[in-house]
Amino acid sequence: MHIVVLIKRVPDTASKITIAADGRTIETAGLQFVLNPYDEFAIEAALQLKEQVGAGTVTVMTLGPAEAAQTLRSALAMGADRGVHLEHEQQLGDPYAIARTLATAIQGLAPPADLVLAGRQAVDSQSLAVGPMVASLLELPCVTDVTRLERQPEGKLRVEREVEGGHEVLLVEPPALLTTNKGLNEPRYASLKGIMAAKKKPIEEPAVPIAPALSAILRLEYPPARQGGRIVGEGAAAVPELVRLLREEAKVL
Amino acid sequence: MSAYRALDLFELDALLTEEERLVRDTARSFVSERVLPVIERHFEQGSFPMDLIPQMAELGFFGANLEGYGCAGLGAVAYGLIMQELERGDSGVRSCASVQGSLCMYPIYAYGSEEQKERWLPRMAAGEVIGCFGLTEPDHGSDPGSMQTRARRTAGGWVLNGTKRWITNGSIADLAVVWARTGEDASSIRGFLVEKGTPGFSAPQIERKWSLRASVTSDLILEDVEVPDSAMLPGVQGLRGPLSCLNQARYGIAWGAIGAMQACFDEALRYATARTQFGRPIAGFQLTQHKLCEMASEITKAQLLALRLGRLKEQGRAQPWQISLAKRNNVYWALEIARTARQILGASGITHEYQCGRHAANLESVITYEGTHEIHTLIVGKQLTGLDAFQ
């Protein structure tokens, strides 16, 4: 069983993001980068499936700058077997360009992928589009936001996802693409032995052309500065007015 | 509260290898997610978080710098980074790992027979066997050469008598490395592996501590304890044995202290920027900025010292007096920083809701154990002057 996990190097969410001088990208100097947290669930799911089957390969693939090799290495330290680095220095804003490039690279893998996993979203660009787009381009069945994943004895995957008011339970036959959501599992730490073993694992750098973008970022803007608060009254007497304002003005109720 | 941010003003991260950063990140996440949520409760109760032992073992934290026998075989810097991160959680948790790896596994690794290594090291790396180290005695702390614990030769073995004190992990240990005199002077000191449950051997816990409360500290009492010949560490004799172990552990403490400093600095900086008095954050006042600046400079200096020491150690060039200087400096400043953080936090700093008070209390032990601040001063003094102030 060959499982491919799409991962991304993203700024630590605790970082303060600054817009670069071009107004369209973020300043990366001084930022701390981490493995996208939603992708950790995908890696853990892949490792658990491989352990359950007792055989197979987990390949982690990323599209990003030279430093993204570190992100691949941390996934290899968790237990993935093989890394694929599609090196590209510029920040890509168009989900199609990213998805098309990844899909081409996945098609070039040997053996072919039996299952593709990806985090539901990258915590930086938040498009939530790359996983489903890759599925479309590869003509794979796609289930998003998976919170439970079980492999049936015959190889089909029973997956659950959260929907409004409950759970949806689906049966998918690989090859397929799943995007992973929080709650699916608890990602393991890279153990010291895993870290030592990761040094010897291969990271391939296939020559895959970056696909053309179908959309372009015009500019990035900071959110408006927060306005000062307002005291609407004191004690229980103020509650009706507070509720009215929350409903009518703030529109949060 | 947002995630912990380690101070790295001089981009020392760039001096670490990818592997070292990964090791540090594993230990850092482990501490944030597994240690910090429970440590306050254990500190208050005066209990050691036992369920952390199998978790630390699984990640490979015990004896991480030893080769083979189920150990990870990391370099000195990577090992130091683990100690740094563990002590960011609590000095007691770091102490447990220090004692297991540097004071119990290391002497077996360095001075044990092949049989002893194979018997104990894999199970100690796996956390199935917990170790402790018995050198200090009630009346012999800084001067271990005058220890009273004796090992008397019998047919086929030894009989041990004596009392050890301030033994980290003592009451939870399955195995104790006990140092005892086999003759009249310090050159006759030998190490013995004493198993829990051996008749005449007990390890009562020392209660009512206000420091290292989330750590087990014990006496080891040996009353006519019979051990076979195979319990003696064959590879070393004299004070060199225990002192070489202490060098390993002290090296780790030089790193560990940075973790305690970082925890306190992070907390003080957050507090100072959030706490408003006289209409502005207290971080905006010159007196607070002075404190924060002093803390940040000392952290940066401590980091440089530890990193350089680690690289020297990896080359086999670290001298005991260099380790003394680093342990002495870093622990001293960690205690100062913890106290300063408490000052910045005002009254809040005395509660268990914040970490600085716990770190300050813990560091009062750390500045005394593994060579007191004063003894390290004399070791450096001897190196500088050629004159031995001990004798």
Q: pLDDT over 70 for what percent of chain B?
A: 99
Question: How close B268 comes to chain A (CA, Å)?
Answer: 17
Does residue A231 share a domain with residue A110? Answer: no
Does residue A172 share a domain with residue A146? Answer: yes
CB-based contact B23 A12, cutoff 8 Å: no
Does residue A173 share a domain with residue A246? Answer: no
Check whether the bond before A141 is cis (ω within 30° of 0): no
Q: To probe the interface with A, which of B34, B59, B61, B66 has the most A CB atoms within 10 Å?
A: B59
Distance separating alpha carbons of residues B286 and B289, to the nearest angstrom: 5
CB-based contact A73 B22, cutoff 8 Å: yes
Grouping H, G, I as helix, E, B as strand and the rest as coil, residue A202 is: coil
Q: pLDDT over 90 for what percent of chain B?
A: 98
What is the predicted pLDDT for the residue at A35? 96
Q: Which of B179, B167, B181 is nearest to B220 (CA)?
A: B167
**Mean pLDDT on A101-119:** 97
Is A136 an 8 Å CB contact of chain B? no
Q: pLDDT confidence of A251, banded at 50, 70, 90?
A: confident
What is the predicted pLDDT for the residue at A14? 81
Grouping H, G, I as helix, E, B as strand and the rest as coil, residue B84 is: helix
Q: In order of start, what are the domains of chain B with their CATH numbers?
A: 12-125 (1.10.540.10), 131-231 (2.40.110.10), 240-385 (1.20.140.10)
Q: pLDDT confidence of B271, banded at 50, 70, 90?
A: very high
* More reliable by pLDDT, A230 or A11: A11
Distance separating alpha carbons of residues B8 and B26, to the nearest angstrom: 18
Does residue A162 share a domain with residue A150? Answer: yes
- By C-alpha distance, the chain A residue nearest B19 is A195
Q: Please state, rounded to an integer, the average pLDDT across all residues of chain A.
A: 94
* B chain contacts of residue A77, beta-carbon cutoff 8 Å: 22, 26
What is the predicted pLDDT for the residue at B2? 61
A241 lies in which domain range? 225-253
CB-based contact A191 B59, cutoff 8 Å: yes
Nearest by CB to residue A192, choosing from B5, B29, B72, is B72
CB-based contact A193 B60, cutoff 8 Å: yes
CB-based contact A14 B21, cutoff 8 Å: no
Provide Rg for chain A, Cα atoms: 21
What is the predicted pLDDT for the residue at A123? 93
Is A244 an 8 Å CB contact of chain B? no
- Is the confidence at residue B1, as pLDDT, over 70? no
Q: pLDDT confidence of A93, banded at 50, 70, 90?
A: confident
Distance separating alpha carbons of residues B384 and B380, to the nearest angstrom: 6
A78 to each of A198, B72, B108, B121, B315, how far by Cα in Å?
A: 8, 15, 30, 24, 29
Number of compact structural domains in chain A: 2
Does residue A137 share a domain with residue A104? Answer: yes
pLDDT in tens, A111-137: 999 999 999 999 999 999 999 999 999
Contacts (Cβ under 8 Å, ≥6 apart) of B177: B103, B104, B107, B108, B131, B132, B133, B134, B191, B192, B193, B194, B233, B245
pLDDT in tens, B326-372: 999 999 999 999 999 999 999 999 999 999 999 999 999 999 999 99
Cβ-in-10-Å burial (0-12, 13-18, 19+) of B348 comes to middle
Does residue A129 share a domain with residue A46? Answer: yes
Does residue A253 share a domain with residue A192? Answer: no
Does residue A237 share a domain with residue A179? Answer: no
pLDDT in tens, A172-228: 999 999 999 999 999 999 999 999 999 999 999 999 999 999 999 999 999 888 877
**Phi then psi for B179, rounded to 5 degrees?**
-100, 130
Does residue A112 share a domain with residue A229? Answer: no
DSSP 8-state class, residue B60: T
pLDDT in tens, B273-314: 999 999 999 999 999 999 999 999 999 999 999 999 999 999
- Is the confidence at residue B139, as pLDDT, over 90? yes
**Mean pLDDT on A83-107:** 95
Distance separating alpha carbons of residues B214 and B130, to the nearest angstrom: 16
Is B72 an 8 Å CB contact of chain A? yes
Is A52 an 8 Å CB contact of chain B? no
CATH number for the domain harbouring residue A194: 3.40.50.620
Does residue A105 share a domain with residue A155? Answer: yes
Q: Please state, rounded to an integer, the average pLDDT across all residues of chain B.
A: 97
What is the predicted pLDDT for the residue at A39? 98
Question: Kind and range of the H or E element at A16?
Answer: none
**Mean pLDDT on B52-79:** 96
Q: pLDDT over 90 for what percent of chain A?
A: 83
Does residue A217 share a domain with residue A236? Answer: no
What is the predicted pLDDT for the residue at B301? 98
* Catalytic machinery residues of B: 370
- Is the confidence at residue A32, as pLDDT, over 90? no
Does residue A253 share a domain with residue A128? Answer: no
CB-based contact A77 B2, cutoff 8 Å: no
Question: How close A169 comes to chain B (CA, Å)?
Answer: 31
- By C-alpha distance, the chain A residue nearest B4 is A14
Q: Which of A77, A8, A18, A24 is nearest to A47 (CA)?
A: A77
